[in-house]
């Protein structure tokens, strides 16, 4: 089981370097992340975007461009589509969002002719390294689906489960969060959580995971909080995966962990034909590099299963 980002980087390394297709690569942090990934032996990159700007930022980042390829595409939407096409055509392994709005990147991913549609709901899956935890924490969905219904949440769980399995968790413990651990008809997220837990118990939809809920955040991650509240459940206090009720809750939790708890982060979009490296434009080069490693590990794991 991978318990931190150092172990993640080690697990993601391959003898034959995979290729990363970076859409709108003219950004200092992006190119610093590519440099880190290259130095660590994770990947080489095809940098799609404005060539002159990429070269200028690469010089500032001290990135040796002789190890990478530049595809000169000035228009941002076209650059996104070009990067996605490289993956679709087998010329690259995973795409990465650069200095461009998420909506523009996703339009390329969902392009009917050249995109990476996988027939599933797309969702963002974050992975966080929190100093007080002995494990990585998977969090979804904090960046894409605004108000998912129970069927959407079921797919969000499936996408998160794929990430958890890639991290080496044999039986991921998944907590469906709300503001309370009791089912309350006036709080629809608690009802959804109970239904999702029932799906797994009744027909094993999310096997090999254990899915329980509703949980308040404290008794999902703290054994002591679960003990005090008398919650006897295999997930209580030991959750590997947190499923949030909506994007507001997820976004606030994600950024609170980053800015207050100083958690290290990685993020990918799941549900497409390949994991998509997607972080906030404000994220550090280390967050972006960790996201590259995560996407490559998921890609390798899913390729072996096919």
Q: How far apart are CA 21 and CA 15, in angstroms?
A: 19
Domains in the chain: boundaries = 5-118+272-305, 123-259
Confidence of residue 118 (pLDDT cuts 50, 70, 90): confident
Q: Say what the pLDDT of residue 306 is.
A: 57
Q: What is the DSSP string of 119-179?
A: SS--EEEEEEE-TT-SSEEEEE-SSS-SS--HHHHHHHHHHHHHHHHHTT-SS-EEEEE-S
Q: Say what the pLDDT of residue 280 is.
A: 84
Q: Is the pLDDT of residue 304 over 80?
A: no
Q: How far apart are CA 56 and CA 60, in angstroms?
A: 7
Predicted TM-score (pTM) of this structure: 0.95
5-118+272-305 and 123-259 agree in CATH topology: no
What are 171-205's pLDDT values in tens digits?
A: 999 999 999 999 999 999 999 999 999 999 999 99
Q: How far apart are CA 167 and CA 162, in angstroms?
A: 9
What are 240-288's pLDDT values in tens digits?
A: 999 999 999 999 999 999 999 999 999 999 999 999 999 888 889 999 9
Confidence of residue 158 (pLDDT cuts 50, 70, 90): very high
Among 126, 202, 208, 121, which Cα is nearest to 161's? 208
Q: What's the CATH fold of domain 5-118+272-305?
A: Rossmann fold (3.40.50)
Domain spanning 123-259: CATH 3.30.56.10: no
Among 296, 302, 300, which Cα is nearest to 43's? 296
Confidence of residue 59 (pLDDT cuts 50, 70, 90): very high
3-state class of 69 per DSSP? strand
What's the DSSP call for residue 122?
-
What are 207-242's pLDDT values in tens digits?
A: 999 999 999 999 999 999 999 999 999 999 999 999
CB 212 within 8 A of CB 197: yes
């Amino acid at each position: 089981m991978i318990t931190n980002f150092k172990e993640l980087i080690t697990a993601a390394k391959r003898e034959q370097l995979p290729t990363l297709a970076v859409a709108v690569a003219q950004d200092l942090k992006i190119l610093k992340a590519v440099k880190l990934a290259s130095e660590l032996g994770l990947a080489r990159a095809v940098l799609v975007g404005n060539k002159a700007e990429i070269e200028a930022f690469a010089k500032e980042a001290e990135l040796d461009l002789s190890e990478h390829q530049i595809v000169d595409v000035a228009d941002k939407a076209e650059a996104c589509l070009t990067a996605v096409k490289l993956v679709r055509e087998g010329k690259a392994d995973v795409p990465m969002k650069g200095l461009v709005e998420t909506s523009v990147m996703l339009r390329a991913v969902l392009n009917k002719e050249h995109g990476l549609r996988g027939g599933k709901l797309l969702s963002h899956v974050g992975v966080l390294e929190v100093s007080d935890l002995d494990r990585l924490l998977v969090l979804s969905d904090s960046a894409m689906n605004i108000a998912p219904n129970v069927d959407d949440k079921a797919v969000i769980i499936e996408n998160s489960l794929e990430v958890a399995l890639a991290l080496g968790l044999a039986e991921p413990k998944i907590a469906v969060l709300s503001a309370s651990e009791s089912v309350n008809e006036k709080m629809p997220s608690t009802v959804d959580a109970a239904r999702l837990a029932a799906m797994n118990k009744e027909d094993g939809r999310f096997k090999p995971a254990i899915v329980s809920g509703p949980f308040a955040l404290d008794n999902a991650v703290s054994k002591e909080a679960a003990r005090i509240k008398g919650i006897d459940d295999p997930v209580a206090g030991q959750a590997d995966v947190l499923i949030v009720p909506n994007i507001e809750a997820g976004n606030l939790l994600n950024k609170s962990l980053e800015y207050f708890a100083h958690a290290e982060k990685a993020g990918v979009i799941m549900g497409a034909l390949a994991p998509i490296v997607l972080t906030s434009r404000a994220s550090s080069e280390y967050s972006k590099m960790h996201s590259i490693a995560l996407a490559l590990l998921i890609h390798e794991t899913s390729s072996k299963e096919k």
